[in-house]
Amino acid sequence: MAAEDVTVLESPPNMAALFARAALTARGRSGDLPGTRLARRGVTVDAGNLAGYARVCGFPLGDTLPPTYPHMLAFPLQMALMSDRAFPLALPGLVHVRNTIDVVRPIGAGESLDLEVWAERFASHRSGATVDLCASVSAGGAEVWRSRSTYLARGAKAPAGAPEADVTVAVGDLERSVATWRIPDDAGRRYAAVSGDVNPIHLSGLTAKAFGFKRAIAHGMWVKARVLGALANRLPESFAVDVGFRKPLFLPSTVTLATAQAGGGWDAAVRNAKSGTEHLVGTIRPL
Amino acid sequence: MASNSKPATRKAAIVGGNRIPFARSNSTYAQASNQDMLTATLDGLVARFGLQGKEVGEVVAGAVLKHARDFNLTRESVLGSKLAPSTPAYDVQQACGTGLEAAILVANKIALGQIESGIAGGVDTTSDAPLAVSDDLRRVLISLNNAKSVQDRLKAIARIRPGMIAPEIPRNSEPRTGLAMGEHAQLTAHEWEIGREEQDELTVRSHSNMAAAYDQGFFDDLVTPFLGLSRDQNLRPDSSLEKLAKLKPVFDKALPEGAEATMTAGNSTPLTDGASAVLLASDEWAAEQGLPVLAHLVDAQTAAVDYVHGGEGLLMAPVYAVPRMLARNGLSLQDFDFYEIHEAFASTVLATMKAWEDPAYCKEKLGLDAPLGSIDRSKLNVHGSSLAAGHPFAATGGRIVASLAKTLHQAGPGKRGLISICAAGGQGVVAILES
C-alpha cells in the first residue's frame, strides 16, 4: 500500500456520531473497497478505561493488556472507515462472523502504540458478501498485535471475480462444558460503556427490534474476550486466537463455556445452556 | 498455653519474597481488587523463582477487608496465577498479623514435613473496600427472599425505612470500644509518655532508611512494579522533623482533659493498598530447585491482651508475646542483630520498647524477674517500615518477613532477627528468623 493512502488521525473518532452517519448514508452504496488506511500514532492506553474493560470482560487488572484490548483502540478507526461514503457496504446489517487476533507478544499497559487499519478481501458468500477489516498495532516499529474481523453483508454482492469467503473455524470435540455464565440483560450496555461500541442491536430490546432482532444481542467481541479472560493465565506468550461467531447470543441468556487443550493451545465453544445453540467456536494456538 | 520446649522438627527456609509497591488509598490502585493484586504478586513471585506451571505445597494468604464474594480469595488468586491449578490454598485472617501468621502456618507445615514448599501472603485494599447494607435492611432483604406469597413480600418491603438505605462503610475501629485504632494508640502513647518529637524522629528515620534501601537497590528483587508504580507511594525521602512538626495532631478524641495529642498523619500509617508474598520451603526442596535459602523461620508466638476491660493498650500484645518466645529459645532481647517492629504508629514502636525497659511493668504484667532491657536503635527497622512503606493490613507481614530474611542473608550466616507485629483486637504476632 502506498504511503499516501494513509490518513493519520490525531484523536479517536466519536463512535456514536459514526453510527449515526453510517445509518443516514446507508442507502445506495456500491463499488469496490477503498484503499484508504487510517492510522493513529503514539497511542497510550487510558488506565481507567483499561480497568473498566478488564472488569466487564473478566480479565485480571494488571500491567499487560488483555489480548482483545487493542481492538478497543482499532475499532473506532475501522468504524470510521466503514461509515465513510466510499465504503461499498451499508454498516447497519453488517454481521461480525469471524475474528482472528495474533498476539505477537504481550503488550505492556504503558507502551506507546501505533495503529493502522484497512479493509480488504471483498469476497462472495452464499448469502451475500464478506469484507475483512484489518488492524495492525506496532510498538517501537515492530508489529506486536494484528487482527482480522470478517463481516457479512446479507444480500450484498461482491465485485465480479471476487474470491470465496472464508468463515470456517474448525474445532475438535468439545463435549465437556467447564463453566456456566448467566449473562444479564444489561451485558450489551455494560460493554458499550467501556468499548464505545454503541451499535443499537446490543443496547436494548427496543433498539434491537428496529434492526430486525427479537431481543438485544451480546457483542461478539465481548464473548470472545470472556473466553480469553477465562483462560487468561493459561495462554501461550504469543498466540493466534481465531473465532467464528455463529448464532446471535440473545440477552439475557445462560450459556456454557467448553474448553479442551489442543495443538499446544485450546479449542473453545460458547453455547446456550439449554438448547446447545452454538454462539462462538474458537481456536487458540501458539504463534 | 505456650509450650515450654520445642519438639524436634526441621526449620522452614525463607527462599525469597515479592510484593507490589504499596499505594495510598484511592490512588493508583483504586480500580484494583484484592484478587487482582494478590494474583499479580503471586505471578511476580512465580516469575522470580521459576515456578511457572509448578505445584507448591500450599498457598496461604488473606485480606483484612474482604468482600463476601472473596470467601476463597487465595484459591481464586492461585487459579488465576501461573502456578499449577493443582496447588491447594486457603485464607487466613488475623487483622494486621495476617501476613506473618500465614508465614508461620506455612513454616509449621514444612517443619512437620507435611509440605515441602509453600507461599504465604496477604493483600488489602481500602479503595475497593466492601460496603454492606445496614443490618436492618439486610434482615428485611433476607425475609423478602424467603417470602413465599405476594402478601409476605409486600409485608417485607413495607418494613424498609429510608434510614436503612445508607450503606455501612468499613471502619478502622474496634467493635467493642468504638475507638479508632489511632485513638487507642494515642491513649497508650499518653500513658507511656511518648512525646511528639521522638515519634517524628522515628518517622523520619523510617522514610530515610527506606529511601536509602531503594537507592541501594535493596528492593530490586523484593518488589515488582504494578500499574505504573515502582516505589511505595507513601515514601517521602525528604521527610524532615520540620515538615512533620507542622502537622496537626489527630486521634485526640479519647484523651483525658488537658492531655497533649501527639499523633499526626505523619507519624501514623496511612490507609494503603498492596499485596505481598513469601516463598518458604524445606532446605531440600530449595536445593532441588536450585533456589537460595535466605534465612530460616526459627520460632513464632502469638499473644492477646484485655484492652477492653483489663486496662492494657490495644497494640501491646507483642510486648507479651516476645518474652514467652525468648524464654522458649533461651534468648535475651539483646541476642538479635536486627529488629523489625511494625510501625502501625511511631508511638506503638516506642511504647513497645519502653515497656520492655520498664522493671515494674515487666515484673507485674509480664511476670519477669528483670526487664527485657533496651534495643540498639541502629538495628531497628534498618530498611524502613510501615510509616514509610504504608500498611496494607494483611500485606505487611510478608513485606517484613522477606525484607528481614534478605537483610539477615546479606549480613552473613548465623545472624538473628526479631519480628513484632501488633494487630487489631488486642493481638500480637512475633517471630524469630535466623540466617
Judgement on whether residues A178 and A211 belong to the same structural domain of the protein: yes
Nearest to A48 among B31, B39, B225 (CB): B31
Taking alpha carbons only, the member of B400, B374, B395, B366 closest to residue B385 is B400
Q: State the virtual CA torsion across A108, A110, A114, A120 in degrees, nearest 10.
A: 50
Judgement on whether residues A185 and A151 belong to the same structural domain of the protein: no
CB contact under 8 A, A62 and B35: no
Q: Which of A102, A134, A159 is the last residue of a domain?
A: A159
Residues of chain A where predicted confidence (pLDDT) is lower than 70: 1-4
Please answer whether residues A244 and A170 qualify as being in contact, where contact means their C-beta atoms are separated by less than 8 angstroms: no
Output the pLDDT for position B4.
55
CA distance B427 to chain A (A): 34
pLDDT in tens, B107-141: 999 999 999 999 999 999 988 777 777 778 888 88
Output the pLDDT for position B1.
47
Interface ipTM:
0.87
- In this structure, is residue A94 part of a structural domain? yes
Judgement on whether residues A87 and A204 belong to the same structural domain of the protein: no
Residues A66 and A57: their CA atoms lie apart, in Å, by 9
Please answer whether residues A229 and A59 qualify as being in contact, where contact means their C-beta atoms are separated by less than 8 angstroms: yes
Output the pLDDT for position A257.
96
Judgement on whether residues A88 and A182 belong to the same structural domain of the protein: no
- In this structure, is residue A164 part of a structural domain? no
Judgement on whether residues A64 and A92 belong to the same structural domain of the protein: yes
Domain that holds residue A203: 170-287
Taking alpha carbons only, the member of A162, A148, A155 closest to residue A97 is A148
Judgement on whether residues A91 and A224 belong to the same structural domain of the protein: no
Asked if A232 reaches chain B (Cβ–Cβ under 8 Å), the answer is yes
Residues A263 and B380: their CA atoms lie apart, in Å, by 55
> Global pTM?
0.91
- In this structure, is residue A165 part of a structural domain? no
Judgement on whether residues A41 and A134 belong to the same structural domain of the protein: yes
- In this structure, is residue A218 part of a structural domain? yes
Judgement on whether residues A194 and A99 belong to the same structural domain of the protein: no
Nearest to A233 among B35, B81, B228 (CB): B81
Residues 93-152 of A with CB under 8 A from B: 109-110
Output the pLDDT for position B3.
54
pLDDT in tens, B269-291: 999 999 999 999 999 999 999 99
CB contact under 8 A, B226 and A62: yes
Residues B424 and B435: their CA atoms lie apart, in Å, by 30
- In this structure, is residue A210 part of a structural domain? yes
Judgement on whether residues A59 and A141 belong to the same structural domain of the protein: yes
CA distance A112 to chain B (A): 14
- Phi first, then psi: give them for residue A39, nearest 5 degrees: -140, 155
Residues of chain B where predicted confidence (pLDDT) is lower than 70: 1-8, 169-171
Judgement on whether residues A230 and A97 belong to the same structural domain of the protein: no
* Number of compact structural domains in chain A: 2
pLDDT in tens, A158-211: 888 889 988 888 998 898 899 999 999 999 999 999 999 998 899 999 999 988
Residues B331 and B325: their CA atoms lie apart, in Å, by 8
Which residue, among B78, B125, B227, would best test binding to A if mutated, counting the most A CBs under 10 Å from its CB?
B227
Judgement on whether residues A114 and A195 belong to the same structural domain of the protein: no
Residues in B touching A55 (Cβ below 8 Å): 31
First vs last Cα of chain B: how many Å apart? 28
pLDDT in tens, B305-360: 999 999 999 999 999 999 999 999 999 999 999 999 999 999 999 999 999 999 99
Q: Which of A101, A129, A159 is the last residue of a domain?
A: A159
Residue A178 is part of a domain; what is its CATH number?
3.10.129.10
Output the pLDDT for position A120.
95
**Closest residue of chain A to B225, computed from CA coordinates:** A63
User: Active-site residue among B207, B383, B391, B409?
Assistant: B391
Q: Which of A124, A159, A194 is the last residue of a domain?
A: A159
CB contact under 8 A, B31 and A110: no
- Phi first, then psi: give them for residue B65, nearest 5 degrees: -95, 115
Judgement on whether residues A21 and A136 belong to the same structural domain of the protein: yes
| CB crowding B102-130: b at 16 or more within 10 Å, else e | bbbbbbbbbbeeebbbbbbbbbbbbbbbb
Please answer whether residues A190 and A149 qualify as being in contact, where contact means their C-beta atoms are separated by less than 8 angstroms: no
- With helix as H, strand as E and coil as C, how does chain A read? CCHHHEEECCCCCCHHHHHHHHHHCCCCCCCCCCCCEEEEEEECCCHHHHHHHHHHHCCCCCCECCCCCHHHHHHHHHHHHHHCCCCCCCCCCEEEEEEEEEECCCCECCCCEEEEEEEEEEEEECCEEEEEEEEEEEECCEEEEEEEEEEEEECCCCCCCCCECCCCCCCCCCCCEEEEEEECCCHHHHHHHHHCCCCHHHCCHHHHHCCCCCCCECCHHHHHHHHHHHCHHHCCCCEEEEEEECCCCECCEEEEEEEEEECCEEEEEEEECCCCCEEEEEEEEEC
- In this structure, is residue A281 part of a structural domain? yes
Residues A243 and A223: their CA atoms lie apart, in Å, by 10
Asked if B227 reaches chain A (Cβ–Cβ under 8 Å), the answer is yes
- In this structure, is residue A99 part of a structural domain? yes
Residues B162 and B153: their CA atoms lie apart, in Å, by 18
- In this structure, is residue A71 part of a structural domain? yes
First vs last Cα of chain A: how many Å apart? 25
User: Domains of chain B, with CATH numbers?
Assistant: 181-218+298-434 (3.40.47.10)
